[in-house]
Amino acid sequence: MRELFSLEELTAFAKAISSDMRVNIILQVAQQPGIGLMELADHFGVSRAAITQNIKILTAAGLIELGQTDGESGARKGCFVTEDRFLLNFHRRLLTQKIYTTEIPIGQYSDCAITPTCGIATAEELIGRVDDPAFFDDPRRFAAGILWFSTGFVEYRLPNYLQEGQSLVEIQLSFEISSEAPGIAENWPSDLTFFLNGTKIGTWTSPGDFGEVRGRYTPAWWEPNWNQYGLLKLLSINERGTYLDGRMISMQNIHNLQLDNDSELRFRIAAPAEAANAGGCTIFGKGFGNYNQGLKFNIIYTEA
């Protein structure tokens, strides 16, 4: 899920879906990921120029992206839907709030303690051996595109870009995640708990460890009976509480955390051994899964 709250994002989104043709293009791309521009033109009976112009508007709004896909004559550009859900937030004071944004590779964790089954890999190769936690300390981890573990945690140190006189309004984190089963299991619930600076901010139950369909970005060398993709989640901490995909998961709010420009920001994803559903955790980064992203991080703030 992606949350839209700035005036620019909302305007671009509204423009993108104001056309029946563009809405139908989105629906067709969602049904047929990787479809080419000529295929879209043939499907709708219009010129390629018309499709190109509409795709340009959709990509500018972040609804469609172009990526490499395999065709009959080799690799070519295809269209993909970037998100399966969007949250339009009209609650914000759009003219007074600003944002710092960054993306952290999933292997750039600052601390971890995990148990097998476990493993870590780049888009090109496994890092070391599977089920050996020692390789979570391998320097190649910074290029990791996937990591998984049965119990334990990984913790990320997030950059705090706030300056003197800037007040934190909201923290947002977006990541692709799933359970971790031996092999794959579509129905494999796992209680995953999130912490900020050691404070529990909420728990979400992942429904499964997905592998019946290959991940959109998962490399061809990856074993078919291993984790293929996860679910994209948007975690938000604001003045009202902590939300996952717009649904409150705890009353822990931004004020209780007492954060300012001098605060450290440590975000932990944990799969506790004592959880009712102890089903492990898989985190997908660039080169794996369906979203080709690391840990996206936004700080929303106001200035005095």
Euclidean distance between CA atoms 27 and 46, whole angstroms: 17
pTM of the model: 0.78
**What is the DSSP secondary structure assignment for residue 174, as one 8-state letter?**
E
163 to 35, 160, 184, 243: CA distances (angstroms): 45, 9, 45, 26
Q: What is the pLDDT of residues 112-166, one digit of tens each?
A: 999 999 999 999 999 999 999 999 999 999 999 999 999 999 999 999 999 999 9
Q: Looking at the structure, do residues 178 and 53 belong to the same domain, yes or no?
A: no
What the block records as the tokens of 68 is 């490499």
Sign of CA dihedral 209, 212, 216, 217: positive
114 neighbors 149 (Cβ within 8 angstroms)? yes
Phi-psi region of 258 (alpha: psi -120 to 50; beta: other; left: phi over 0): left
What is the three-class DSSP state of 271? strand
Q: How confident is the model at residue 10 (pLDDT cuts 50, 70, 90)?
A: confident
In a shared domain, residues 284 and 236: yes
The neighbouring-strand residues paired with 3 are 87
Q: Which residues contact 3 (CB under 8 A, 6 or more apart)?
A: 86, 87, 89, 172, 234, 236, 246
My answer on whether 252 and 224 are in the same domain is yes
96 has a pLDDT exceeding 60: no
CATH number of the domain bearing residue 34: 1.10.10.10
Q: Which stretch of 43-47, 78-82, 271-275 has the lowest confidence by average pLDDT?
A: 78-82
Average pLDDT of every residue of the chain: 91
**pLDDT at position 152:** 98
Residues 122 and 198 occupy one common structural domain: yes
* pLDDT value of residue 287: 94
pLDDT tens track for 175-215: 999 999 988 999 999 999 999 999 999 999 999 999 988 89
Whether residues 111 and 188 share a domain: the answer is: yes
Q: Residue 217: give its domain's CATH number.
A: 2.60.120.260
**What pLDDT score was predicted for residue 198?**
97
Confirm if 267 and 110 have CB atoms less than 8 A apart: no
Average pLDDT of span 250-273: 96
pLDDT on residue 7: 73
3-state helix, strand, coil in the chain (%, to 5): 15, 40, 45
Range of the domain at 125: 96-303
Residues 245 and 180 placed together within one structural domain of the fold: yes
Residue-level pLDDT at 70:
59
User: What's the confidence (pLDDT) of residue 232?
Assistant: 93
Q: Are 294 and 286 in contact (CB under 8 A)?
A: yes
Overall residue count recorded for the chain in this entry:
304
Torsions phi, psi for 29 (to 5 deg):
-65, -35
Is residue 294 predicted with pLDDT exceeding 90? Answer: yes
pLDDT tens digits, one per residue of 280-293: 999 999 999 998 99
Neighbours of 171 (CB within 10 A): 23
Asked if 115 and 252 sit in the same domain, the reply is yes
pLDDT above 90 covers a percentage of the chain that reads: 75
Is residue 295 located within the same domain as residue 150? yes
Query: What would the two tokens of residue 250 be?
Result: 């705890």
Looking at the structure, do residues 81 and 110 belong to the same domain, yes or no? no
Longest dimension (CA), the chain: 58
**Residue pLDDT, tens place only, 53-77:** 999 999 999 899 887 765 555 567 8
- 3-state SS of 77-141? EEEEECCCCEEECCCCCCCCEEEEEEEECCCCCCEEEEECCCEEECCCCECCCCCCHHHHHCHHH
100 and 33, same structural domain? no
Q: Number of structural domains, the chain?
A: 2
